[in-house]
C-alpha cells in the first residue's frame, strides 16, 4: 500500500479536478482570508525558487499569477500595481542602465579611492 502524500500548500483551482480525473482523491479545504494571504506569500516563495532554479518563462508566468492573486486578495489589480511601479520608476529609476552598487564610500574614502578608479572606465562615483 502506498503512503499518502502530504502537501499542505495552495494549489490552482482546477488541480483537484485534474487529480480526480487521474484516479487520485485529493483532500482539500478552503482557506479564510488570513490563511489565504499567508498561503499566497508561501506560494510566491515556492514559485520564485522554481523560477530561480530553472529560469523558465513558464515558471515566471507562475510568479506573475501568484502576484495577481495577492493583488486581488488585497483589493488591488494589475493596473494599480502598474501605477505604483511607474511612480517608483519616476522617483528611483529603472534597471535599464544595469547599475550595480558595489559599495558606498564616505567623503574621505572617496577622495582616497579616486586615484585607484581613474584607470577603470567601468567604475564611476
Note the pLDDT tens digit of each residue in 31-85. Answer: 999 999 999 999 999 999 999 999 999 999 999 999 999 999 999 999 999 999 9
Predicted local confidence at residue 66, as pLDDT: 98
Using DSSP's 3-state secondary structure scheme, residue 69 falls into helix
Distance CA 34, CA 101 (A): 37
Using DSSP's 3-state secondary structure scheme, residue 55 falls into coil
List C-alpha distances in Å: 88 to 21, 33, 35, 85, 94: 46, 28, 30, 5, 8
Q: What is the DSSP letter of 9?
A: S
Residue 105 contacts residue 90 (beta carbons within 8 Å): no
Distance CA 72, CA 82 (A): 14
Query: Up-side HSE of residue 21: CA atoms within 13 Å toward CB?
Result: 5
Q: What is the value of pTM for the model shown?
A: 0.83
Q: Is the Cα torsion angle 101, 54, 45, 74 positive or negative in sign?
A: positive
Predicted local confidence at residue 1, as pLDDT: 66
Amino acid at each position: 500500500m502506498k503512503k499518502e502524500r502530504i502537501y499542505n500548500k495552495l494549489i490552482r483551482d482546477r488541480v483537484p479536478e485534474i487529480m480526480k480525473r487521474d484516479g487520485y482523491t485529493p483532500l482539500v479545504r478552503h482557506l479564510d482570508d488570513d490563511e489565504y494571504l499567508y498561503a499566497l506569500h508561501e506560494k510566491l516563495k515556492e514559485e520564485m525558487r522554481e523560477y530561480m532554479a530553472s529560469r523558465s518563462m513558464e515558471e515566471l508566468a507562475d510568479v506573475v499569477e501568484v502576484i495577481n492573486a495577492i493583488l486581488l486578495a488585497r483589493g488591488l489589480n494589475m493596473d494599480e500595481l502598474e501605477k505604483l511601479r511607474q511612480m517608483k520608476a519616476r522617483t528611483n529609476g529603472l534597471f535599464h542602465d544595469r547599475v550595480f552598487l558595489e559599495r558606498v564610500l564616505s567623503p574621505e574614502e572617496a577622495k582616497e579611492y579616486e586615484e585607484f578608479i581613474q584607470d577603470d572606465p567601468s567604475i564611476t562615483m
